[in-house]
Amino acid sequence: MDDATTRERLAAALREAPATASDLSRDVGVPQSAVYGHLRHVARSLDGTDEEFLVAPPECRDCGFSDFDDPVNDPSRCPACRSERIAEPTFTIRGG
């Protein structure tokens, strides 16, 4: 897949195994800050297909809060306890 787009490479990686944005950044070679925008597009591109874009949302390591407004994001602080110890969301593509 040498000529694959960044989004195609991200989707291929997520079809192989669940990954966080930092995992994908390292494996695909794009900045972590750019991964989230690409993932939103990958999710939209799967609409109407037999595949699903799944997200295990970020979770506060101190209080367990996981009801973040946007699960395809890397929050800096927990809205419940204000802790900055937030586990990254994990993404995968299932089906197909």
**Domain CATH number, residue 24:** 1.10.10
What does the pLDDT read at residue 1? Answer: 52
The answer to whether residue 69 sits within a structural domain is: yes
pLDDT in tens, 26-78: 999 999 999 999 999 999 999 989 999 999 999 999 999 999 988 888 899 99
Q: Which amino acid is at 80?
A: A
Report the distance separating Cα 53 and Cα 78, nearest Å.
24
Query: Does residue 21 fall inside a structural domain?
Result: yes
Is residue 88 assigned to a domain? yes
Residue 22 has pLDDT above 80, yes or no: yes
Residue 43 lies in a domain: yes
pLDDT exceeds 70 at position 81: yes
- Domain membership flag for residue 28: yes
For residue 96, pLDDT over 80 is answered with: no
Domain count, the chain: 1
Q: Is residue 1 part of a domain?
A: no
Tell me the residue range of the domain where 35 lies: 6-95
Q: What values do phi and psi take at 37, rounded to 5? A: -65, -40
